[in-house]
Structure 1
Amino acid sequence: MTINAEVPVAAARGGPVAVAGGHGRQDAEGGASGADLVLPLVAVGGVGVLAGYGYVRRTRRARTRTTPGVVSPQPPVTPLPVLERQAGAALVQADDCLRTSREELAFVEARFGTDAGAVEPFVRALRKAERELSAAFAIRLRYDQGVPGEDAARRHALAGIVGRCAEAGRRLDTEAPAFDQLRALEQELDSSLGIAETRFRELAGRAGGVDATLADLNTRYPLATATSAVTGYVEQAKDRLVFATTHLNQARQAADLDDTGTAIRDLRAAEGAIGQADVFLNDVDRLANSLPAAAELVPAALTGAEAELARATTEPAPGRLHTRLAHAHATLAAVREELTGDSPYDPLDALRRIVRAVLPLGAGRDGVLGAAAWLVGRSDVGAADGFVATHRGAVGTAARTRLAEAELLLATDPAAADVPALEAREAAEQDVRVHGNPYDGRAGDRTSGVGGAVLGGILLGEEPDGGPPLCFGGPATRKRRGLPPP
């Protein structure tokens, strides 16, 4: 990828060269002074010097002018911060395209069931696009860590990010026409509406049960940090379902009037909201499984960590290791006190602190401590991913890059995945606070769910009603279900 930073300049104009010269001094009687009677050779030499000086000045001016006509031989270089913003925008857009494409593909899979052959080309396209995006995020992570260090190499790295993201989008764009042909919404609209309505009813019925589950978690684990990751999630799921209700009804009405384009637009908006409601409810259920599992694992993990600490204490300890041992002793003692005391505690946080205490000692990657690391990492990565998925209209590059790092570590080194996962969630929450939601202040948006749909990236927020809804595809095709121009 090349960035054209050439700046046009004006051509030097022809014409006589202006020569600066002094008037000859006149004597008291008006005659010519001796200073005017210079030898011709000397005069010609002076004119040559002045002409050369004028030429140099004109050449320098021509190289720095911006008038169209001549290309500067040394164009200005695009500043790194500008290239960084371009690369960041490419990462966000590619990540959004992949997430939307996965969500719509789930509805196609629900329709075709066990007929894997029908959806396999699109599954492959998604996997290839995911690999490109994963490579782009890896480059960005190294870039944020200062690698490479030279400006020229950093520019190449940013160009590589943009190129990888473009390739991910191209793969999805290429498959979009075949995907639409498989879905055949123009001919099979009623069937697709039926699938969406079935999923909607399942989630609407499930929301009450998940609400009760969350209430039970708050009772069993009253410490606020234990359930803070899913606070408000049932309400947000209901908000997405309200939005889905509105658009499913509008889709049915448009279909009855043979307004197929509008019906498909409303269907896609409803499908996006249904998918995100499912994410919210799943996140609560995952936490409901993780907290009891962590509570059961804490005593064994604590005993295992104390054994590792005792082993490390018997070995010679240099100054830095001595500090780590002291910190580990204090951490494990605090967890032991929480475990045996009467005050409520957060089991996942207790496991997290245990694993972090022994990691600097070379432990925590196998046995009971490895199981604890896996449980904590999986919970934190899942929570961060769910938040990004349901708030992606506001989440920027930093949070997504850290999440990509956490997902990679979860597969290769679960004990190390917890830190970038928590950082990703924190950065995403900060993005949402800074971004706000312009649709929440409009009349009717709080009851129709449009604000949540824009925040969730279901709608792009480019029109008064929040549309268009996004579809399977890359940057060139994902908005194809919008209303036609007037």
Structure 2
Amino acid sequence: MAHTALGGLIGVMWLVLPGMTADQEGHESHEVPVSVLGSAPAVSEAPAVAAQEEETSTGDLVLPLVAAGAATAVAAYSYARRRRRVRTRTAPAALFPVAQPTAPELDRQARKSLVAADDCLRTSREELGFVEGLFGAEAVAPFTEAVRYAETELSAAFQLRQTYDDNPTDAYRDALDEIVARCVDAGRRLDAEAAGFDQLRALEQDMSGALRHAEVRFRELTGRTGAAEATLADLRERYAPSASLLVSGQVEQAKDRLVFATTGLNRARQSADLGDPERAVLQLRAAEGAITQAEMFVDGVDRLASALAAAAQAVPDALDEAETAVVETRERLAEGTADREPVGALEGHVSRTEAALTAVREEAAAGPYDPLEALRRVSVVSAPLGTVPGALRLVTRWATDAADVFVGTHRGAVGAEARTRLAEARRLLDRDPAEADAFARQARELAERDVRAHGNPYGGRPEHTNGVAGAVLGGILLGDLPDAEAEALTGGTPGSFGGPATRARRGVAP
């Protein structure tokens, strides 16, 4: 289509421009004499002047038309190039036509691409955090920009996936092609920066600074883990059991990652002292990944404590706001001015809201309760009355953060569906908190389902208490658990900054 439009435009220009040139030459050869004193042309010359003006006007109109046509052709050509780029990036080059993948095959490819790109992005962000802490933000600016680019592409891919999941029959091939294409773009950008990133770190030449930096973070985190355990115990006393349920095992999981990090740091220093920098780098990278995830677990406990305290303060105001909405709605019903929906339905909303608000007040007065869940319930029942407490955003942010921690620390088992819902929750966080909260909770449920289905064949066995199983489940070590267990002494294959083509470049040392 683009080539046809461009060719047609060239043909028009080929035909029109000679005429324009001839007209211009004719104008030059039939110029109307002008009096030296500037007098007007003679009456007999008026038709010639009029003809000249008409020809000039016609010529003046041609150039804008040609320019507009050129812009249209260029736009069409750019669009065609984009479509070709999508297809060539997602299909292998072939000398002969190949069968197009079926809808289920293309769907699986899109899911796989989303998971791979998300894993690469998460690993890249984690290692970037260590490097920025050591060299500063200015030194890592190009790599930060690459991460942001990948985030933008992946966010668009997840949004397309959510749209497809909502209506999988709507132009599925174009949507799935575009998902894969954006994931490829994100990965390629990270791959392009991997060599420069390694050059900045220069771990094989001198890893002493990086090792010391990791050890400092490890020691700080060890102290924070003990504090988080005390915080969690306090939350269980102050609030209902449901309030801390989502973080109930995070302290133990943080300790598991720290056990793995301890082993990695010790072996990295030993390998460096023995003159084996390649193996030392593997072990350091694995330890860095474990430290990051242990920190995510501990941060999650601290964030919950802050969110519960803020929610407990917000609940009374949210109850008052919802009760005001009930009173105003009853007044409109009495006056006959409630035209938002049928009177019977609105009366039902009022009754349910009053009952829910009474229950929340009784729970809050009776003793330990879950203020985050109370805020959620108040928001849900008051929404049909046209009001949503502003504190709902607090609930949504906590739910989204909690889901993100779970996905990030269990990404070796979590699939594309949970990650898509999480991305949608992030996108809607400031636009529609109620909808975002629903997506965040769904993301957590789907991620937990994936982890249960994945299982842990080594869980609870004393001979496998070195944290390797958790490192594989968390995507710190790439590959399956048996292989990682066999490679643990050498450092395994840790993920590194980069896309799919480079993230596993630090394999098992020979």
**Same fold flag (TM > 0.5):** yes
For the 8 Å contact 2:393–2:430, the answer to whether it is kept is: no
Change (3 A) 1:471 1:350: same
Question: Quick one: structure 1 residues 99 and 4, their matched pair in 2 at CA, closer, same or farther if it must change by over 3 Å?
Answer: closer
Asked whether 1:156 is paired with 2:174, we answer: yes
> Which letter does structure 1 place at the counterpart of 2:300?
D
1:225 aligns with 2:248: no
Report the CA distance between 1:296 and its aligned residue: 1.3
Q: How does 1:82-481 map to 2 (within 5 A)?
A: 82-113=105-136, 116-146=137-167, 149-150=169-170, 153-221=171-239, 223-315=240-332, 316=338, 317-318=341-342, 319-340=344-365, 342-364=366-388, 369-370=389-390, 372-440=391-459, 444-445=463-464, 447-462=465-480, 463=483, 464-465=486-487, 467-481=492-506
Partner deviation per Cα, 1:315-352 (whole Å, 9 max, x = no partner) = 22514434333332222222122123x24311100001
SS in 2 for 1:144: helix
How far apart, CA to CA, are the structure 2 residues paired with 1:242 and 1:331? 46
Deviation at 1:292, TM superposition (A): 1.4
CA–CA distance in 1 between the matches of 2:451 and 2:410?
Answer: 7
Q: Is the 8 A contact 1:439 1:450 kept in 2?
A: no
| Partner Cα separation in structure 1 for residue 438 and residue 363 of structure 2 | 22
Task: Please state how far the C-alpha of 1:297 moved relative to its aligned partner.
Answer: 1.1
- Cα distance in 2, alignment partners of residues 159 and 326 from structure 1: 49
CA–CA distance in structure 2, aligned partners of residues 263 and 428 of structure 1: 33
Distance 2:94 2:349 in 1: 57
Q: TM-score, normalised by structure 2?
A: 0.76
Cα deviations across residues 212-241 of structure 1 (Å, max 9, x unaligned)?
1110110111x2211001011111100000
Aligned to 1:65: none
CA–CA distance in structure 2, aligned partners of residues 322 and 219 of structure 1: 39
Deviation at 1:248, TM superposition (A): 0.5
Contact 1:272 1:458 in 2 (8 A): yes
Q: Distance in 2 between matches of 1:438 and 1:457?
A: 16
Does the 8 A contact of 1:241 with 1:274 survive in 2? yes
How far residue 309 of structure 1 moved from its aligned partner, in angstroms, is: 1.9
Change (3 A) 1:6 1:296: closer
State the 1:459 CA deviation.
Answer: 0.6
Indicate if the aligned counterparts of 1:7 and 1:76 stay in contact, CA closer than 8 A. Answer: no
Gaps of 5+ in 2: 1-85, 333-337
Alpha-carbon shift at residue 6 of structure 1 (Å): 12
Q: Distance in 1 between matches of 2:146 and 2:386?
A: 40
The CA deviation at 1:270 is 0.1
CA distance in 2, matches of 1:111, 1:272: 16
Distance 2:244 2:297 in 1: 13
CA offset at residue 444 of structure 1?
2.9
What is the rounded CA distance, in whole Å, between the counterparts of 1:374 and 1:391 in structure 2?
A: 26
Distance across 2 between alignment mates of 1:397 and 1:80: 17
CA distance in 2, matches of 1:210, 1:307: 39
Letter of the 1:167 partner, please give it: D
Matched position secondary structure for 2:275: coil
Q: Deviations over 1:116-158 (max 9, x none)?
A: 32111111111110000000000000000006x34xx101101
Q: How many equivalent residue pairs?
A: 408
What is the rounded CA distance, in whole Å, between the counterparts of 1:353 and 1:402 in structure 2? 21
Report the Cα distance in structure 1 between the residues aligned to 2:278 and 2:318, rounded to whole angstroms.
57
User: Which amino acid letter does the alignment assign opposite residue 358 of structure 1?
Assistant: S
Paired amino acid for 1:357: V
The one-letter code of the counterpart of 1:329 is: E
Note if contact 1:384-1:425 (Cα within 8 Å) is conserved in structure 2: yes
Check the 8 A contact 1:5/1:77 in 2, yes or no: no
What's the RMSD between the two structures over aligned residues? Answer: 2.1
Structure 1 residue ranges without an equivalent (≥5): 9-70
Identity of aligned residues (%): 57
Separation in 2, partners of 1:475, 1:301: 47
Cα 1:483/1:146, change in 2 over 3 Å: same
The whole-number CA distance in structure 1 between the counterparts of 2:194 and 2:220 is 29
User: For 1:465 and 1:442, how far apart are their aligned partners in 2?
Assistant: 18
**CA–CA separation in structure 2 for the residues paired with 1:84 and 1:450:** 32
| Structure-2 change in CA distance of 1:7 and 1:476 (3 Å) | closer
CA–CA distance in structure 1, aligned partners of residues 215 and 126 of structure 2: 16
Partners of 2:225 and 2:251 within 8 A in 1: yes
1:118–1:301 distance in 2 versus 1, CA, 3 Å: same
Distance in 2 (alpha carbons) for counterparts of 1:428 and 1:412: 24
Equivalent AA in structure 2 for residue 98 of structure 1: L
Greater per-residue helix proportion: 2
Q: In the TM superposition, what is the alpha-carbon distance from 1:313 to its structure 2 partner?
A: 2.6
Q: Residue 284 and residue 6 in structure 1: after superposition, are their counterparts in 2 closer, same or farther (change >3 A)?
A: closer
The 8 Å contact of residues 259 and 466 in structure 2, kept in 1 or not, is answered as: yes
Amino acid at match of 2:432: D
Counterparts of 2:434 and 2:165, CA distance in 1: 22
State whether residues 294 and 375 of structure 1, in contact with CA within 8 Å, keep that contact through their aligned partners in structure 2: yes
Residues 6, 313 of structure 1: alpha-carbon distance in 2 compared, 3 angstrom cutoff: farther
CA displacement at 1:187 relative to structure 2: 2.1
Structure 1 contact 393–456 (Cα < 8 Å) conserved = yes
Note if contact 1:5-1:78 (Cα within 8 Å) is conserved in structure 2. Answer: no
**Which secondary structure state, in structure 2, belongs to the residue aligned with residue 394 of structure 1?**
coil
**CA–CA separation in structure 1 for the residues paired with 2:275 and 2:386:** 67
Q: Which amino acid aligns with 1:142?
A: T
Kindly report structure 1 stretches of 4+ aligned residues shifted beyond 6 Å: 3-8
Q: Give the drift of 1:7.
A: 12
The answer as to whether partners of 1:6 and 1:76 remain within 8 angstroms in 2 is no
Q: CA shift at 1:5, angstroms?
A: 11
Letter of the 1:140 partner, please give it: R
Deviations 1:281-334 (A, max 9, x none): 000000111111111111111011110122123222514434333332222222
| SS of residue matched to 2:430 | helix
